[in-house]
Structures are given as structure tokens and as C-alpha cells.
């Protein structure tokens, strides 16, 4: 038994060797999110090559709406699992099951509301998103199918997080991998072979989500699980409390959507649909990096929240060291890959003979954006750390700075006061400025100080 804790010697999170425990949770999380990312990237490959650059632009214009809903569900998932992890660390399985049940029901209500709003007001949504009327039909091909798919997708995502926090990361990853593989195969069939375009991509996503939920639902058959779903619940005020604790993740998602909306508006004004399509291609690489880093950081939610409940400051510090080391190594690898193979990656998404100007524009965007890969992972890790330590306001400050305030201010500032500068330079500048803030807040709320603080 680990003499540091004196508690729960059967829980490897509290007593096990650091690197094996870290990789036990981080590897399935990264693998799962990479599988999910691969599916989305393959969506882009098929849409760009078979439906064209305009279809890629139509998909990108819808991202702010999706991030609004995903962000709210993610806040419930992260805030809820942080609370559940702490309850499990304290041995309070009834309280953990209650927050599990309430988060699933709240997510279902949220997703159904979003689907109805999208169905009734889709043209108004397209207008707000900055699209021109000539691209509305392309957007509707995808949007009017995917809004119903999101009902299953959001509930499945929240269930995934709770399955992981209850100690079944392998099952959670299996579900993601199965869904992603199915999505890729169906994309090849519906988009590549049958030429169903954006509607085919949305249908592929829906069918893959059904399979993913079916695999994940095996959790309810596990006799050793600690979380049990119960329909009748009290104390619903815990839902806004959980949402508040996950607010930084909601801000991350919402801010991505708002910044994407601003970028789309500015690019449509200056470079038209080609500019939006070119940024869509480069944004897939940003998305890939963030999914890797979120995968590692999401594992930290579990490791930190359990050890916070058990009062293990040193274990939290050591796990943070594991996470930072891996993220920095991967960041350097990604930057070198971008330097050496960036042009080839961009051309996976576009038929350069059909859209040579868009491909060339994407090349220029990548040259501007690569420095953000060096620090965006550490910023995500530190924001997640603050959330898991129940420091919601500092975590939100980091998230808000990197994903909304600084990018928006810099984008508008460059567009207005330095139009000769590359517009997208705002994004790496925002990440590096946030990095300084995040380091300062981590030092202020380091593990030993938080755990030994009175109250």
C-alpha cells in the first residue's frame, strides 16, 4: 500500500505507480478521441474531394452552432464527472450515481431543444452564421439531418465521460473506435461511392452514433459498476452547480464557435468562400492537435479529482508532470510534421486541379498558424487542472482568454488597424499570451496550496 495516502489501497489512481496509471487512463482517452478525430478528418477528405471546396465551406459555416450545443453538453459531462470522481474518492457512490443520472437527463433535454430550434429556424441560423443565400441549400443538406443525430451524439458523449470516471476506460474507447471506424466506412460508401454529398456524411455520422451508443450501453450490464441510473431524482440544483464547475469547457467550445464565426465573417468579406474553405482545411490540423491534447487532459480529470477527494497533493503534482511531459513531446513532433509534410496533408483534403487557389491559400495559412501547436496543449492541460481542482473561475479565465477574448480582440485589431498583417496571426498570438496567464494561475493554485488551504 502507498504510504502517501493511507486510503483505498485497491484504487490504483490513489496508490498505483504514476506512469502506468497515467497511461492506463491517457492512452485509451487519446485513442478514443483520435478515432473520433480521424472520423471527422475523413469526413473532410471525402467532402473536399467528392463534394468540393464549397461543401467544405458550408460545413465550416455550421461549426459555431454545433460548438454551442457541444459546449453545453461537455460542461455537464466534465463538471458532472469531476463531482462524481470526488464522490467516488470519498466513497459516496449514491451521490455519484445521482449526478450521473441527472447529467444524462439534462443532456437529453438540451439536445432535443437544440434539434427543435434548428429545425424550426434553420434559415435564420444560416443568416446569423454569415452564410450567403446561395450556399443555404448545401448547408441544409447536412444541417437538417445532423440536428437529430446530435440528440444521440450528445447523450453518448456524456455517458462516455461517466463510464471512464467509473473505471472502464477500455469500454469507453472501444465504443469510440467502433463508431469512428463505422463512420469512415459509411463515408466511403455514401459520400465517395454513392455521391450523396453532405447529406450522406450526416447519415453516416448518425448510423455510427447508433453503434457507438450500443457498445457503450454494455456498461449498464457490468455488475461491478458503481454508477447506477435512476429516473427519479431530487436536488436538481446540482446540475447548474456541475455546469458551473465545467464552465471552462463550455467556454472553450462556445468561444471556438464565436471565434470561428468571426473568422468566417472576416474571410468571407476579404477572400470569399475560397478563404473559408482554405481555413477549414487548416483547421482540421488544429482540431487534430487539440483532440490529442484533450485526450491527455481528459484523463487528468479522473486522476486529479480522485486524488483531490483523498487529499493527495503530491500525486496530483506528479500526474501533472506526466501530462505536461507527454504533451510537450507530442507538440514538438506535430510541429516538425507540419514543417516537413504540411503541403501534402493539405492536398489530402482538396482536388488541387479543381481548386488550386484554395489549396495555395491553405498553404499560406498553415505557415502563419504553426506556432500555436507549441503551447495550445499546455493551455488545455492547465485549464483542465484548474477545473478538476474546483477552481472554476481561474479555469474559465484561462479558457476564456485563449479561445475568445484574445483571439477576438486580435482578429478585430489586425483587421482594423494592421490590415497588411496576416489576419490569422491572431490565433498563435492569443495562445502564447494565454500561456503566460495559465502558468501564473497554476503557480497560484498549485496542488499543495489548494489541498492544505482552510475550508
Q: Cα 299–225–298 angle (5° rounding)?
A: 10
What is residue 1's predicted lDDT score, i.e. its pLDDT? 37
What is residue 37's predicted lDDT score, i.e. its pLDDT? 67
| Range among 171-175, 324-328, 339-343 with highest mean pLDDT value | 324-328
- Rounded alpha-carbon distances, angstroms, from residue 219 to 47, 75, 136, 164, 242: 34, 22, 41, 10, 23
> Where is average pLDDT lowest: 55-64, 96-105, 146-155, 238-247?
238-247
Question: For the chain, what percent of residues have pLDDT higher than 90?
Answer: 31
Q: Is the pLDDT of residue 441 over 90?
A: yes
What is residue 248's predicted lDDT score, i.e. its pLDDT? 67
Q: Which residues contact 168 (CB under 8 A, 6 or more apart)?
A: 219, 222, 225
Q: Is the pLDDT of residue 35 over 80?
A: no
Q: Give yes or no for a contact between 439 and 382, defined as CB atoms under 8 angstroms apart.
A: yes
Q: How many CB atoms lie within 10 A of CB 273?
A: 21
* Confidence bin at 6 (pLDDT 50/70/90): very low
| Range among 251-265, 350-364, 404-418 with highest mean pLDDT value | 404-418
Q: Give yes or no for a contact between 279 and 263, defined as CB atoms under 8 angstroms apart.
A: yes
Nearest to 191 by CA among 201, 183, 182: 201
Q: Is the pLDDT of residue 5 over 70?
A: no
Predicted model pTM:
0.71
**What residue spans of 132-271 are helical by DSSP H?**
136-165, 169-187, 197-216, 238-245, 247-270
What is residue 454's predicted lDDT score, i.e. its pLDDT? 59
What is residue 52's predicted lDDT score, i.e. its pLDDT? 80
Q: Is the pLDDT of residue 18 over 80?
A: yes
Q: Is the dihedral of CA 42, 46, 52, 55 positive or negative?
A: negative
Q: What is the pLDDT of residues 25-34, one digit of tens each?
A: 888 778 767 7
Higher local confidence (pLDDT), 29 or 339: 339
Amino acid at each position: 500500500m502507498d504510504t502517501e495516502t493511507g486510503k483505498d489501497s485497491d484504487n490504483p489512481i490513489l496508490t498505483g505507480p504514476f506512469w502506468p496509471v497515467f497511461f492506463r487512463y491517457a492512452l485509451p482517452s487519446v485513442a478514443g478521441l483520435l478515432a473520433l478525430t480521424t472520423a471527422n478528418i475523413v469526413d473532410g477528405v471525402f467532402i473536399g474531394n467528392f463534394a468540393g471546396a464549397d461543401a467544405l465551406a458550408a460545413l465550416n459555416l455550421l461549426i459555431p452552432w454545433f460548438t454551442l450545443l457541444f459546449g453545453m453538453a461537455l460542461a455537464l459531462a466534465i463538471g458532472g464527472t469531476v463531482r462524481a470522481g470526488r464522490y467516488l474518492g470519498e466513497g459516496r457512490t449514491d451521490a455519484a450515481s445521482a449526478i450521473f443520472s441527472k447529467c444524462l437527463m439534462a443532456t437529453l433535454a438540451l439536445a432535443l431543444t437544440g434539434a427543435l430550434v434548428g429545425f424550426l429556424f434553420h434559415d435564420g441560423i444560416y443568416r446569423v452564421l454569415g452564410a450567403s443565400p446561395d450556399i443555404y441549400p448545401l448547408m441544409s443538406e447536412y444541417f437538417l439531418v445532423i440536428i437529430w443525430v446530435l440528440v444521440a451524439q450528445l447523450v453518448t458523449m456524456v455517458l462516455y465521460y461517466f463510464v471512464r470516471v467509473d473505471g472502464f476506460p477500455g469500454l469507453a474507447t472501444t465504443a469510440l473506435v467502433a463508431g469512428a471506424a463505422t463512420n469512415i466506412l459509411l463515408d466511403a460508401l455514401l459520400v465517395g461511392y454513392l455521391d450523396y454529398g453532405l447529406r450522406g456524411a450526416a447519415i453516416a455520422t448518425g448510423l455510427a452514433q447508433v453503434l457507438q451508443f450500443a457498445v457503450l450501453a454494455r456498461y449498464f450490464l457490468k455488475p461491478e459498476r458503481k454508477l447506477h441510473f435512476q429516473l427519479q431524482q431530487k436536488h436538481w440544483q446540482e446540475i447548474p452547480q456541475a455546469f458551473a464547475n465545467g464552465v471552462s469547457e463550455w467556454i472553450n467550445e462556445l468561444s471556438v464557435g464565436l471565434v470561428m464565426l468571426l473568422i468566417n465573417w472576416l474571410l468571407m468579406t476579404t477572400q470569399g468562400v475560397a478563404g473559408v474553405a482554405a481555413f477549414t482545411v487548416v483547421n482540421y490540423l488544429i482540431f487534430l492537435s487539440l483532440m490529442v491534447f484533450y485526450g491527455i487532459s481528459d484523463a487528468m480529470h479522473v486522476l486529479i479529482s480522485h486524488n483531490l477527494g483523498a487529499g493527495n497533493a503530491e500525486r496530483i503534482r506528479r500526474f501533472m508532470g506526466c501530462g505536461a511531459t507527454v504533451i510537450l513531446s507530442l507538440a514538438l513532433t506535430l510541429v516538425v510534421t507540419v514543417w516537413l509534410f504540411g503541403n501534402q496533408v493539405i492536398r489530402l483534403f482538396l482536388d488541387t486541379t479543381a481548386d488550386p487557389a484554395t489549396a495555395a491559400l491553405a498553404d499560406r495559412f498553415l505557415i502563419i498558424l504553426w506556432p500555436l501547436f507549441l503551447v495550445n496543449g499546455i493551455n488545455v492541460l492547465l485549464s483542465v487542472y484548474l477545473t478538476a481542482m474546483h477552481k472554476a473561475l481561474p479555469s474559465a479565465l484561462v479558457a476564456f482568454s485563449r479561445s475568445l477574448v484574445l483571439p477576438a480582440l486580435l482578429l478585430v485589431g489586425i483587421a482594423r488597424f494592421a490590415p497588411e498583417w496576416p489576419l490569422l496571426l491572431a490565433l498563435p498570438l492569443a495562445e502564447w499570451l494565454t500561456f503566460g496567464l495559465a502558468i501564473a494561475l497554476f503557480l497560484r493554485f498549485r496542488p499543495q496550496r489548494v489541498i492544505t488551504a482552510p475550508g
